[in-house]
Amino acid sequence: MQAKKLAAVIAAAAVTLAAAETLLRVDSIPESKIVHKAPPEYPPDARDARIEGVVKVGVIIGKNGHVEEARLISGHPLLAPAALQAAKKWVFQPFERDGKPVRATAAFEIPFALSSAQ
């Protein structure tokens, strides 16, 4: 029984260490790193209210270049859900440290303008 408890503690510690992996902070994403930029759908309520603006989104990019998490940094509450949904579909060339792919954290802006609304 003690061995099982010890194994569980070791496994939990390994998961915690993996989760604490240091993320590469990317202050500015070069356009050449963006493989796919998903456009947001203009929310009907925001369109009806004639709301325009920019939503700033923070993301965690996985080793494979896909967005793992997206969170709102700033922006209008009616535009934010559409921006977050679009950000989760963005794809990047993997970021590297010492020649190996690493997870990265970055932020970018998603603009909403009625002139470009569908």
Strand-pairing partners, residue 25, are 105
**Residue 83 in 3-state DSSP?**
helix
**Residue 25 in 3-state DSSP?**
strand
23-116: what fold?
TolA/TonB C-terminal domain (3.30.2420)
Q: What pLDDT digit, counting tens, does each position of 46-91 carry?
A: 999 999 999 999 999 999 999 999 999 999 999 999 999 999 999 9
Q: How far is CA 4 from the centre of its chain?
A: 37
pTM: 0.78
According to DSSP, residue 31 is labeled: G
Cα maximum dimension of the chain:
67
